Amino acid sequence: MDTVEDLFRRFEQLNAIGAALSHERDIDRLLENILLAAKTITHADGGTLYRMTEDEASLRFEIVRNDSLKIAMGGASGKPIPFPPLPLKTDRGEPNNSMVAAYAAIHQETVNIADAYEAEGFDFTGTRKFDASTGYRSQSFLTVPMKNHENAVIGVLQLINAIDPDSKKVVPFSAADQRLAESLASQAAIALTNRQLIDQLERLFESFIQLINVAIDEKSPYTGGHCERVPVLTMMLAEAVNATRAGALADFSMSDKDRYELKIAGLLHDCGKVTTPVHVVDKATKLQTLFDRIHLVDTRFEVLKRDAQIAMLKARSALRNGQEEHAGKALEEDLARHLAQLESDREFLRRANIGSEAMTAEDQERVRRIGTGYRWIDVDGRPANFLSDDELENLNIRAGTLTQKERETINYHIVATIKMLEQLPWPKHLRNVPEYAGGHHERMDGKGYPKGLVREQMSVQARVMGIADIFEALTARDRPYKRGKTLSESLEILGKFKLNGHIDPDLFDVFVGQKVYLKYAEKFLDPEQIDEVDEKAIPGYRIAATQQR
């Protein structure tokens, strides 16, 4: 018989268990804790926890434990459970009342059996076979349905063989055992339902994030890959920093909540790109808008060639008798030189349009000379400069393919990202997402954007994302305007960025020292990009501060 002291102690256990269950985030560990707690509080030798399947047609084995037989399957054990689910209906469509666990779920009531071998109305054939093969004696059973806040059964808790603490013999589960198990099952069902609801909301939230990234991807396949890869590299570097035990970053650590918060920030770090015009994001050449306007320039060159040929023919037809041979030859030579110059200028503008090399001052002057030196008759029949002001501005871009205004348009995406994220009602465990996601274009020396923050004003996570964003962009092989750089090329550039105050120096040392760059490369880069890296030759790299804890 249960003493008052024993009941009081077990009620305290129940309260402690309920509090512990409400804090568990991992569903597998939660399920295991529920069963282990039930075994402890009822002194049960073994037990099974079932969960209702998604179609509510059967009970699925989740956790199986038996102390005497040293059986541990499901949950943290890592051992799969070989038993098929218990159907709630027979082949004839009738309720499966012969199986105790199914009966408890169907009728939503607890079944307390003193001895399975003497029980009537239930089929314990499988139990007897199990006992015969193991030498075990399954005797007392306590089977409790787990009902959520909507009074729906979400699982079944089944305990086997209550052990008397004093005699160590198998005894029936007492009325107190049953009440405690029912109370625990109720608390466990609520904790499990809450955890499932939270998981569902998190999955829904992440699905909305993926919708945003899909929208960006549909606008531009080049940024779509970026949105996928930067979060992965961010987490790789963050985990490497978390493992660092020396130097300035030795005190940095992350909990599971911190990891999830950084993951969400990584997924959302470029969400503002939904506002960026696609012709700017994908601008592969200097004259590209909705199409590459170099073809219009080519057409004008053909018009100039045609006009020159017509002018030559007109001049030749005006020659008097006796002048045709000498003057005509001169006209043809002038035309040939003129056509050759036009062709040379056309090829020059085609090269300039690509933007793969920085333009010299002489090249920029040649663009202006072509643009204003040649005249042509436009579609309205009026004489016009060969290149429009906008075409001159674009073709004279010194490096790359973007004008200053277009760079500002692209840079605005981070402002849009911050605006979008700061408007969301973030829960406490995600409140840093806007800061993490919005800081990846800042620099350690305060020359970044949009806020001009310095290193001390930024979190480690935001600085981590800054390095991930740059390295991904350097090595990306799906950009329309450049090839993906090799590891050695990218690390040389990053090293220079460290020295000029662009990126965090301590994080860079961890990035190199723990070979985060190589782990990322093996997952995302083409084999030809993964070249030999001489870490000693990387600008600014210090081997210290890269040890792991």
490-514 residue pLDDT tens: 999 999 999 999 999 999 999 999 9
Are residues 299 and 498 in contact, defined by beta-carbon separation less than 8 angstroms?
A: no
Q: What is the DSSP code (8-state) at residue 187?
A: H
- The residue-averaged pLDDT of 252-268 equals 94
To the nearest whole percent, how much of the chain has pLDDT over 70? 91
What is the crossing angle of helices 487-499 and 460-475, to 10°? 140
Name the band, by pLDDT with cuts 50, 70 and 90, for residue 471.
very high
Please list the alpha-helical segments (H only) found in 220-255: 221-242
pLDDT of residue 222: 62
Per-residue exposure over 325-360, b if at least 16 CB sit within 10 Å of its own CB, e if not: eeeeeebeeebeebbeebeebbeebeebbebeeebe
pLDDT of residue 224: 58
- The residue-averaged pLDDT of 164-183 equals 90
Of 221, 242, 383, the C-alpha closest to 303 is 383
Name the band, by pLDDT with cuts 50, 70 and 90, for residue 525.
very high
Q: How many CA atoms lie within 13 A of 361 on its CB side?
A: 0
- The residue-averaged pLDDT of 141-148 equals 92
Of 234, 235, 216, the C-alpha closest to 225 is 216
pLDDT of residue 33: 79
To the nearest whole percent, how much of the chain has pLDDT over 90? 58
- The residue-averaged pLDDT of 28-41 equals 81
DSSP 3-state assignment of 158? strand
pLDDT of residue 481: 56
| 12-33 confidence digits (pLDDT tens) | 665 566 655 666 566 777 778 7
- The residue-averaged pLDDT of 279-284 equals 79
| 294-340 confidence digits (pLDDT tens) | 999 999 999 999 999 998 988 888 877 666 667 878 888 899 999 99
- The residue-averaged pLDDT of 149-172 equals 91
User: Is the pLDDT reported for residue 126 higher than 60?
Assistant: yes
User: Is the pLDDT reported for residue 545 higher than 50?
Assistant: no
Q: DSSP for 356-402?
A: -SPPPHHHHHHHHHHHHH-EEE-TTS-EEESS-HHHHHHHT-SSSS-
Name the band, by pLDDT with cuts 50, 70 and 90, for residue 154.
confident
DSSP 3-state assignment of 31? helix
- The residue-averaged pLDDT of 141-162 equals 91
- The residue-averaged pLDDT of 258-284 equals 88
Are residues 212 and 268 in contact, defined by beta-carbon separation less than 8 angstroms?
A: yes
pLDDT of residue 225: 78
Are residues 235 and 259 in contact, defined by beta-carbon separation less than 8 angstroms?
A: yes
- The residue-averaged pLDDT of 144-153 equals 88
Q: For residue 360, give both structure tokens.
A: 């010299």
Q: Mean pLDDT of all residues in the chain?
A: 88
pLDDT of residue 444: 96
Distance between CA atoms of residues 356 and 22, nearest Å = 58
Are residues 240 and 506 in contact, defined by beta-carbon separation less than 8 angstroms?
A: no
pLDDT of residue 547: 47
Q: Lowest-pLDDT range, 31-35, 382-386, 438-442, 526-530?
A: 31-35
Q: How far is CA 225 from the centre of its chain?
A: 10
- How many other C-beta atoms are found inside a 10 Å radius of the C-beta of residue 419? 14
Please give the model's pTM, rounded to 2 decimal places. 0.69
User: Is the pLDDT reported for residue 544 higher than 60?
Assistant: no
Q: Tell me the one-letter amino acid at 314.
A: K
DSSP 3-state assignment of 291? coil
Name the band, by pLDDT with cuts 50, 70 and 90, for residue 59.
very high
Q: For residue 277, give both structure tokens.
A: 């015009």
| 197-249 confidence digits (pLDDT tens) | 888 888 898 898 888 878 777 777 666 578 889 999 999 999 999 999 888 89
Distance between CA atoms of residues 444 and 505, nearest Å = 9
- The residue-averaged pLDDT of 70-77 equals 88
pLDDT of residue 445: 95
